[in-house]
Amino acid sequence: MKKNRIKGPAALAGALAAAEAAGSVYFYRRTMIRGKAKTERTIRMAGTDWNQYMPLIEERKVRMMEQPHGDVYVESDDGLKLHATWFPQGSKKRVVICFHGYTSRGLSDYIGLSDYYMRHGFSMLLADERAHGESEGKYIGFGCRDRYDAVKWIRWVLEKCGEDVQILLHGTSMGGATVLMCSGLKLPPQVKGIVSDCGFTSAKEVFTHVLRSMYHMPAFPMIQISDQINRRMAGYGLDECNAAREVRKAKVPVLLIHGSADTFVPCSMCDEIYENCASPKRKLIVEGAAHAESYYKDMKAYEKALDELIEEVMPA
């Protein structure tokens, strides 16, 4: 009888542990693996109503794709073939390298901003981050691995445009985290400024937020199990690189942009990154803007913030 009383709780504990492990593996696969992480699900979770902006986006897409452009490639440190689309403009001495959000691609996230950058004489390099678009890779890098890929693209621009080129890095969401994490590396002097739009601190912290706020689930032990899996499969920990820590080493001026109504990547992450940033910094909070909506919600304020940064770091 006593043995049965012991066996019951032990069996229950074992069943719960098995369920937690299975749930963690399911969460990991649908979040971190190419083909399992779906664009439609990301858009739904982010909650931004893009339908209202589609006429403007379609109009600018036509104009953008009419410009001369072509496919370019580099190889990552771990042997992946990475893809970007190159839009040369004028003398090509001002270049913005753009990094897209989670489950997106280079040609998708910068259609609206292409109008601004091309009007200001910037050539644009729209990178597909690893495991996205036409870039190779099975496991999503969440900025931690992508920051080193960003350095490869910086080197490509230097070779293409010469040592007198001036470079701006611009990232959105996961791309924003990528450029902020890149700020902690030793960057060439040609990188003059960094723009992060709704970037997060780390994969671990944004996953924890999503589990609690959207799924109403505890992060423990799912995040810890996912972290162990990712270290083994993708080669990095979910909090191995944190934007709020990396910007403590930043030397390049940083512009942080975030929407006050962002429920996907909370605006508090922007505040934390800003407080930790060691380089000259600016912050624009767009009232009422949801995730990645800031440019469309207040185009005038967004472009003014870009104008001020560019005038400072790339004086005519």
201 within 8 A of 267, measured Cβ to Cβ: no
pLDDT tens by residue, 59-68: 999 999 999 9
pLDDT value, residue 156: 98
Q: Residue written as tokens 């339908």?
A: 51
Helix axes 146-161, 174-182, angle to 10 degrees: 70
Interatomic CA distance for residues 113 and 239, integer angstroms: 30
Cis peptide, bond prior to residue 68, ω within 30 of zero: no
- Band of pLDDT at residue 29, cut at 50, 70 and 90: confident
Interatomic CA distance for residues 316 and 307, integer angstroms: 12
- 29-42 mean pLDDT: 88
105 within 8 A of 133, measured Cβ to Cβ: yes
- Band of pLDDT at residue 25, cut at 50, 70 and 90: confident
- 301-314 mean pLDDT: 97
CA 175 vs CA 197, 209, 262: distances in Å: 8, 18, 16
Domains of the chain: 33-202+241-313 (3.40.50.1820)
Name residues whose C-beta falls within 8 Å of residue 72's C-beta, 6 or more positions apart in sequence.
83, 84, 85, 86, 125, 156
Residue 1 pLDDT greater than 60, yes or no? no
Residue 280, phi then psi, degrees to nearest 5:
-55, 135
- The closest of 72, 109, 312, 78 to 197, measured between CA atoms, is 109
pLDDT tens by residue, 261-282: 999 999 999 999 999 999 999 9
Residue 67 token pair: 């410009």
